[in-house]
Amino acid sequence: MSKKYAELTLDGVTHSYPIIQSTQGENAIDISTLLRDTGHITLDRGYVNTGSCTSAITYLDGKEGILNYRGYAIDDLAENCSFVEVAYLLLHDDLPNLEQLNDFRELMSTYALIHEDMIHFFDHFPPNASPMSILSTMVNSLHNFYPEMSTHPEPFESFDNVTTRLLAKVRTIAAFSYKKSLGHPLIYPRYDLNYCENFLNMMFDKPTKPYTILPEVVSALNKLLILHADHEQNCSTSTVRLVGSAGVNLYASIAAGINALWGPLHGGAAQAVVEMLEGIYADDMDFEKYIRKAKDSNDGFRLTGFGHRVYKTFDPRATIIKKACDETLAALNVDDPLLDIAKELEDRVRSDDYFVSRNLYPNVDFYSGIIYRAMGIPTDMFTVMFALGRLPGWIAHWREMNSDEERRIGRPRQLYIGYPAKKYIPLDER
């Protein structure tokens, strides 16, 4: 196929830039020589239109509402796979066969404990410390305890050790931080439980009241983790890549991603949604007040759980989560007024021209918090749950970036709008 070029004419001179073909979706104009050719940079606030890398992990079509991991549709994966299978898929090229899956699971069990010295770290956070701050601190510290291979992902066969260690330990850290926040004894991971069962057991089992692991809860958690497992170049994943591009080790890069995820515009949204729905409930269901505020450009308030940078139609993950929310609450016999409020709010938003004209649909965070509530997960841990799910995606992107022979340190440009050069004035003359 002959190469295509885009032309840019500036000050009467025409420059050509090669079009790089994707395997699916948008192609890209390679403008890497633009500055050298023209003395200009591009300005693209929030990277709305800027590709920072090539990637073979996730395909997302925001107009059609399509999300595929390594070619597989998200609904197929959410319906049929375990989270561990999907983690393997993201980190390798394809789904595992039975033997590969069993080996991967075995490694996960092998690495599920955290070094006992790390457990002392939990004792030194204030009682109201944010679980996200604890998580990023603990993940950063993992490099001191497990430095092997965390600076470069080769040889690839051995990288499964690093991946499973991180996946298993983050799950343990998340559950331990909850137990510590309650002042309860820690419940250790068990060999006989699968990934989701183990997490739920570590969270909720007590010496005084054994926890019953319900298949409905395991299935809902499994689905939520799969749906969060990757989403191409979002804020936290791009952070992992950017930090990692400086040669930073895996754990520190992932800790940076955890911090980026914390924000209410990103992974913190599920918690913000539940708090917003509780606010509407406490406010005598005054939906119109919240909708009015969200539409007022002078009011910073937004309807959290609506809108997405890339999706301009239904977020396919939100559609699956809404259905799972109904199923899980029914199976657990939970009657949560927040679910009715969420549905009513969605109906009102979907018939309001402000939201319709801006393509603001419910996103992945709109219904997920209601499922977590039904499982007994506290609101301030919702973003930790997102991090657990997103972990394989972050690791896969860190690995892909580090294995890319054309990688370069991430270094955006800026358009300077400060003072032109000024003459220095000595202190006694100012």
Residue of this chain nearest to ligand CMC (CB atom) = 307
Instruction: Spell out the residues 6+ positions from residue 166 whose beta carbon is closer than 8 angstroms to its own.
Output: 139, 142, 250, 251, 254, 391, 395
Q: Which is nearer to ligand CMC, 309 or 407 (CB)?
A: 309
**3-state per-residue secondary structure call for 333-369:** CCCCHHHHHHHHHHHHHHCCHHHHHCCCCECCHHHHH
Q: Which is nearer to ligand CMC, 189 or 316 (CB)?
A: 316
The binder of ligand CMC chosen from 15, 92, 266, 407 (CB under 6 A): 266
Q: Is 365 a catalytic residue?
A: yes
Cα–Cα distance for residue pair 90/56, rounded to 1 Å: 9
Binding flag, residue 397, ligand CMC (CB under 6 A): no
Binding flag, residue 274, ligand CMC (CB under 6 A): no
Is residue 336 within 8 Å of residue 370, measured between CB atoms? yes
Q: Smallest distance, Å, CB 317 to ligand CMC? A: 9
Q: Which of residues 4-33 bind ligand CMC (CB under 6 A)?
A: none
Please choose, from the candidates 421, 308, 286, 426, the residue with its C-alpha nearest in 3D space to the C-alpha of residue 363.
Answer: 308
Cα–Cα distance for residue pair 319/367, rounded to 1 Å: 9
Q: Which is nearer to ligand CMC, 104 or 306 (CB)?
A: 306
In the block, tokens 């606010």 appear at 279
Q: Which is nearer to ligand CMC, 305 or 369 (CB)?
A: 305
The binder of ligand CMC chosen from 46, 126, 207, 300 (CB under 6 A): 46
At residue 8, the 3 state secondary structure works out as: strand
Binding flag, residue 308, ligand CMC (CB under 6 A): yes
Q: Smallest distance, Å, CB 309 to ligand CMC? A: 4
Q: Which of residues 364-383 bind ligand CMC (CB under 6 A)?
A: 364-365
Binding flag, residue 260, ligand CMC (CB under 6 A): no
Q: How many CA atoms lie within 13 A of 418 on its CB side?
A: 4
Handedness of CA 424, 425, 426, 430 (dihedral sign): negative
Binding flag, residue 65, ligand CMC (CB under 6 A): no
Handedness of CA 93, 98, 100, 104 (dihedral sign): positive
**Counting beta carbons within 10 angstroms of the beta carbon of residue 269, is it exposed (0 to 12), middle (13 to 18) or buried (19 or more)?**
buried
The binder of ligand CMC chosen from 153, 189, 257, 305 (CB under 6 A): 305
Q: Is 44 a catalytic residue?
A: no
Q: Smallest distance, Å, CB 185 to ligand CMC? A: 34
Q: Which residue among the candidates 205, 230, 315, 365 is catalytic per the annotation?
A: 365
Residues lying near ligand CMC in the complex (CB under 6 A) are found at: 46, 231, 234, 265-267, 269, 294, 302-309, 358, 360, 363-365
Q: Which residues are catalytic?
A: 308, 365
